[in-house]
Every structure is written in structure tokens, then in C-alpha cells.
A and B are shown apart, each in its own frame.
Chain A
Amino acid sequence: MTEVLIPSDATIVEIAQEVWSSILEDAGELTSVFGFDEKHETAVLAFIEITGNWHGSVRISCSVQAAKHIAAGMFGKSEIDVEDDELSDAVGEFTNIIGGNIKALFPSPCNLSLPGVAGIGSFADNLPPGLEDKISEVQVVEVHLEWEGEPLSIGLWENK
């Protein structure tokens, strides 16, 4: 059986920062933090599934404001002009790119699903479509990042 090494927190942070700075106009700095204050309420949720020599999912949650910044940076418009469908599309594509770069760390062959995006809530009570049947997955990595005080978390969940 192929030996699979789980990517480190530092590697996930590096991928997130590279994707952030490469695809967003006026990206600003995405910094790694140890955790979030209670005041932070993540509201936009996305995931993408990896299957093959490693099986699990990459789950991203962020505040609405961070999601608007992602969408604004990708669509080249101001945050106030971002429509809901643009926000969903942009967070989905952001998740797809991060998921693809994480997938590349696992032994080939691995496949990537299309991303799923949901809004408002937590993964526990508001799962993006397609994530309902992933209750057997356990979290193996979680990193917390911030852009101008707005939270963005990336979790790696393994299907055991």
C-alpha cells in the first residue's frame, strides 16, 4: 500500500498564501494565526473531495467579508459590488485551486471533485451539498489565517 504523508500546517499555510497573492487583485496579506477569538463568526463554507491514494476533503470556512474580498479580487471589482452568485463562484474556485495544490502533495493517482459551497452557519449545522455523507471523516490538519482581521480556516479531513 502506498505510504501517505499528511501535509504539515506550514505547507497548507504556504499554499493558501501563494494562491491568495497570485489570483487576487489588491490581495493584501493573509497571515497565519493560532486561533480565533469568539467574536469571529465564520459564515461561508466550501469543500472539495480528494479520492484515490488518499481519501478525504479540504474544507474552507471564512467570514462573509473575507469571501467578498476573494470575490472582488477575482472579479476585479469592489467588494460592495459583489453579488451572491459571484461570491459563491469565487469561493468555490478558490477552494478548487487550494484543493488541487493539496492533492498534488499526495501520491498519484488522486482525483478532485467539483467544489461545493454553502453559506451562513457552521459545518456542523449547514453542510454544503455533497458533504452530508462525509460524517466518517476526521480532521487531520487545521490552519487559521486572517486577512485584515477577517478569518479564513482550512481543514484537511481524512476518510478513515
Chain B
Amino acid sequence: MRELFARKGLTVLAAILVIFAVGLVGFYMFSADYGDGLEVAMDDADVEESEPVYTGPLDYGDNYLSSLLMGIIGFFIVLSSGYLLARLLRKNDS
């Protein structure tokens, strides 16, 4: 994990999060009220989404600040999970 938190790595991580924070403004201005391609196809066919068999402990939030927070939490969960998994795969080889 050391290389991720070296100076250059930190700059990259910060840049991604800044782009996300700015992009999220556009999301709430133009897209938040609409469904994606599959959801619209389900609407067209009058298909109701059934109850999920599992509900995650978090959601993506319903306003700018909560979505920003959830995005940052998710970012670090994916970052650490991806790193640990890749390390594990590499370690198995050696």
C-alpha cells in the first residue's frame, strides 16, 4: 500500500476525488431524477423491481453531500479491496 500513499499516488487519488466531487454537481443538476437504460426499459415494459434478496448496509445517498460521502467511502473500500486481492493473487505465485 506504500506506493499508493507516496506523494505521486496521493496526488492521483486526490485528483480522482476532486473530479468526482465536481462531476457529482452535474449529476444532481441533470441526471439524478432519471433512470438508466435498463430501468427505462423496465418502465416501458411495466416491470416492477422486486424486493432484493439482500439489502446493502449503505446506499449512494440522495443529496450532494451524502452521495459525496458515500462515493468517498466506496472509493476507499474498492481501493483497498482491489489492492488486497491483487496482492493476494501475486503472493500465491511466490
Partners in one complex: no
Q: Which residues of B contact A (CB under 8 A)?
A: none
